[in-house]
């Protein structure tokens, strides 16, 4: 089947834009689709969420597979019974298992035992290898029945020594002729079991895959054009520049997140000499995640912001906004390359320090997986509102840390003198030097 170049999130986003009042022609032009495609999507997916659209696609694929399987069964049923004893089974051209009638006697008993073991194999969403293993075992069963047993019947009644010699010669000949096929079969069988038993990232409730796992590129080879909402230049091979004081992009998600979400932003900076320092405010919907200081020298930028679960789960469609804290520069200075979202619980290699706590401000540096990351403040385990601002720290480079990993947390409301303030990462781990007293 020829798959669409549009993901379920992109289809749902286009339909929701029109449902919110956007023009069909404008939306189709931004999405690079024809109006006929939009009306076909609306008739088929109207009112569905991305996860429901994906489930509909899976049902359609399953129906087509069952139709092909039914056609194969009808062909096999109409075939004479002698044809089922062909020396070798036909190759899998359509990916469908070739039905093989169960044997009688001992072979059928062994097959029942194997089927019992297959039923006990663990199954994970998207990684259930039992159908593939069952198909492979059926082919092995047919090959054993039609080849080895047929050869044993030919040798029946001969002396035991002669029988062993001829059987050994036949096995060596078979190995030389088909060793590549046998090795491929064995490696595929082992690999299938390994994939089925390997641990995967799953939600801690309901054993569902993590819903937050996406990357959106801003370059000319990236995702759906309408993902970039407004305030951006024309796409280039690397990404897009901000051309206004505010620029935004739309993001669609499959399902709510069970915890905080890591937002990794890869961007560019090119401040000209003499231009004032620029700071970019990063907002997720209406919530401010932090302020990102743009360095004076032109360079590639990377920073991780943490989206609280309560903010992320407000809607399945979110607006990610970048805005200059002051007056917009005369020429573009901030360019977006890639935006990635992952479950924050998958982050590791946290490093950080609280340098000082005074005048309602907490300063220090924080890194996760080699990139600066935002942190949060709390008092007695209760989060407190605090504005996060990244700071350039040239002294960190001597220790192998990014220069823009510094931070400043400014409390939104004053707290009593002597209050202990905790500064923590997204996984709840405190920074060194925390708690500190104001």
Q: At a CB cut-off of 8 Å and minimum separation 6, what does 269 contact?
A: 294, 295, 297, 298, 299, 301, 333, 334, 335
Q: What pLDDT, on the 0 to 100 scale, is given for residue 99?
A: 41
Q: Residue 167: exposed, middle, or buried by beta-carbon count in 10 A (0-12, 13-18, 19+)?
A: middle
5, pLDDT greater than 70: no
Judged by DSSP in three states, 172 sits in helix
250, pLDDT greater than 80: yes
Q: What pLDDT, on the 0 to 100 scale, is given for residue 146?
A: 61
Q: Are residues 392 and 419 in the same domain?
A: yes
Tokens of 71: 């056609």
Q: Are residues 182 and 255 in the same domain?
A: no
The reply to whether 300 falls in a domain is yes
Q: How sure is the predictor about 419, in pLDDT bands with cuts at 50, 70 and 90?
A: confident
Q: What pLDDT, on the 0 to 100 scale, is given for residue 428?
A: 83
Q: What pLDDT, on the 0 to 100 scale, is given for residue 6?
A: 76
Nearest to 251 by CA among 5, 8, 6, 10: 10
Q: What pLDDT, on the 0 to 100 scale, is given for residue 273?
A: 64
138, pLDDT greater than 60: yes
Q: Are residues 128 and 156 in the same domain?
A: yes
The reply to whether 328 falls in a domain is yes
Question: Where do the H-state alpha helices sit in 144-257?
Answer: 149-155, 160-197
Tokens of 120: 């006990």
Q: What pLDDT, on the 0 to 100 scale, is given for residue 407?
A: 92
Q: Crossing angle for the helix pair 35-45 and 50-78, nearest 10 degrees?
A: 80
Mean pLDDT computed over 97-123: 50
Q: How sure is the predictor about 96, in pLDDT bands with cuts at 50, 70 and 90?
A: very low
The residue with greater pLDDT, 438 or 113, is 438
Q: What is the pLDDT of residues 287-314, one digit of tens each?
A: 999 999 887 776 788 999 999 998 998 8
Nearest to 373 by CA among 276, 290, 297, 299: 290
Q: Are residues 356 and 333 in the same domain?
A: no
The residue with greater pLDDT, 186 or 53, is 53
Q: How sure is the predictor about 105, in pLDDT bands with cuts at 50, 70 and 90?
A: very low
Q: Are residues 276 and 300 in the same domain?
A: yes
Q: What is the pLDDT of residues 364-402, one digit of tens each?
A: 999 998 899 999 998 888 888 889 999 988 888 888 888
The reply to whether 163 falls in a domain is yes
Q: Are residues 266 and 301 in the same domain?
A: yes
Is omega for the bond preceding 435 within 30 degrees of 0, making it cis? Answer: yes
Q: Are residues 290 and 231 in the same domain?
A: yes
Number of domains in the chain: 3
Final residue of a domain: which of 346, 375, 409?
346
Q: Are residues 179 and 252 in the same domain?
A: no
Q: How sure is the predictor about 200, in pLDDT bands with cuts at 50, 70 and 90?
A: very low
Give the rounded percent of residues in the chain with a pLDDT score beyond 90. 16
CA distance 322 to 314: 19
The conformation of residue 4, written as its DSSP 8-state character, comes to P
Q: Could you tell me the CATH number of the domain that includes residue 251?
A: 2.60.120.260
Q: Are residues 339 and 225 in the same domain?
A: yes
Final residue of a domain: which of 326, 346, 366?
346
CA distance 122 to 186: 20
Q: Are residues 338 and 377 in the same domain?
A: no
The reply to whether 180 falls in a domain is yes
Q: Are residues 378 and 330 in the same domain?
A: no
Q: What pLDDT, on the 0 to 100 scale, is given for residue 406?
A: 92
Instruction: Quote the pTM value.
Output: 0.55
Q: What pLDDT, on the 0 to 100 scale, is given for residue 80?
A: 54
The reply to whether 48 falls in a domain is no
Q: Are residues 181 and 125 in the same domain?
A: yes
CA distance 405 to 323: 20
Handedness of CA 109, 114, 116, 117 (dihedral sign): positive
Q: What pLDDT, on the 0 to 100 scale, is given for residue 51?
A: 77
Q: What pLDDT, on the 0 to 100 scale, is given for residue 290?
A: 92
Q: Crossing angle for the helix pair 8-19 and 50-78, nearest 10 degrees?
A: 130
The reply to whether 53 falls in a domain is no
Tokens of 154: 């030919």
CB-side neighbour CA atoms (13 Å) of 266: 12
283, pLDDT greater than 90: yes
CA distance 256 to 276: 40
Q: At a CB cut-off of 8 Å and minimum separation 6, what does 331 contact?
A: 272
* C-beta separation of 334 from 242 below 8 A: yes
Q: Could you tell me the CATH number of the domain that includes residue 426?
A: 2.60.40
Tokens of 293: 């200081």
The reply to whether 90 falls in a domain is yes
The reply to whether 258 falls in a domain is yes
Judged by DSSP in three states, 289 sits in strand
Q: List the domain range (segments joined by +) for residue 275.
A: 213-346
Q: How sure is the predictor about 75, in pLDDT bands with cuts at 50, 70 and 90?
A: low
CA distance 118 to 115: 5
Final residue of a domain: which of 346, 361, 388?
346
């Amino acid at each position: 089947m020829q798959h669409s170049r549009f993901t379920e999130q992109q289809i749902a986003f286009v339909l929701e834009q029109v449902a919110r009042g956007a023009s069909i022609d404008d939306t189709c032009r931004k999405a690079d689709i024809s109006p006929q495609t939009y009306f076909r999507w609306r008739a088929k997916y109207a009112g569905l969420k991305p996860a429901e659209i994906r489930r509909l696609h899976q049902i359609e694929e399953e129906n087509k597979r069952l139709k092909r399987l039914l056609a194969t069964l009808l062909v096999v049923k109409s075939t004479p019974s002698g044809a089922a004893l062909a020396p070798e089974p036909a190759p899998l051209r359509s990916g469908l298992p070739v039905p093989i009638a169960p044997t009688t006697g001992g072979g059928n008993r062994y097959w029942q035992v194997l089927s019992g073991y297959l039923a006990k194999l663990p199954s994970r969403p998207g990684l259930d290898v039992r159908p593939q293993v069952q198909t492979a075992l059926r082919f092995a069963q047919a090959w054993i029945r039609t080849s080895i047993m047929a050869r044993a019947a030919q040798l029946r009644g001969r002396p035991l020594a002669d029988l062993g010699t001829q059987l050994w010669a036949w096995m060596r000949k078979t190995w030389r002729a088909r060793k590549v096929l046998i090795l491929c079969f064995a490696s595929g069988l082992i690999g299938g079991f390994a994939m089925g038993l390997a641990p995967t990232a799953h939600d801690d409730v309901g054993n569902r895959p993590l819903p937050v796992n996406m990357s959106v590129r801003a370059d000319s080879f990236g995702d759906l054009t309408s993902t970039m909402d407004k305030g951006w230049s024309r796409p280039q091979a690397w990404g897009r520049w901000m051309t206004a004081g505010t620029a935004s992009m739309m993001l669609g998600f499959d399902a709510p997140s069970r915890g905080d979400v890591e937002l990794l932003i890869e961007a560019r900076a090119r401040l000209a000499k003499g231009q004032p320092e620029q700071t970019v405010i990063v907002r997720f919907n209406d919530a401010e995640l932090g302020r990102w200081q743009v360095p004076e020298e032109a360079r590639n930028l990377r920073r991780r912001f943490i989206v609280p679960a309560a903010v992320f789960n407000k809607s399945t469609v979110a607006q990610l906004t970048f805005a200059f804290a002051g007056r917009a520069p005369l020429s573009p200075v901030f360019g977006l390359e890639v935006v990635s979202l992952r479950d924050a619980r998958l982050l590791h290699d946290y490093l950080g320090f609280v340098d000082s706590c005074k005048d309602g401000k907490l300063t220090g540096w924080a890194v996760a997986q080699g990139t600066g990351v935002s942190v949060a403040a709390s008092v007695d385990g209760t989060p407190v509102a605090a504005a996060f601002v990244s700071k350039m720290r040239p002294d960190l480079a001597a220790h192998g840390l990014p220069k823009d990993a510094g931070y400043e947390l400014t409390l939104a409301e004053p707290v009593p003198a002597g209050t202990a303030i905790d500064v923590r990462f997204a996984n709840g781990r405190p920074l060194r030097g925390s708690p500190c007293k104001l």
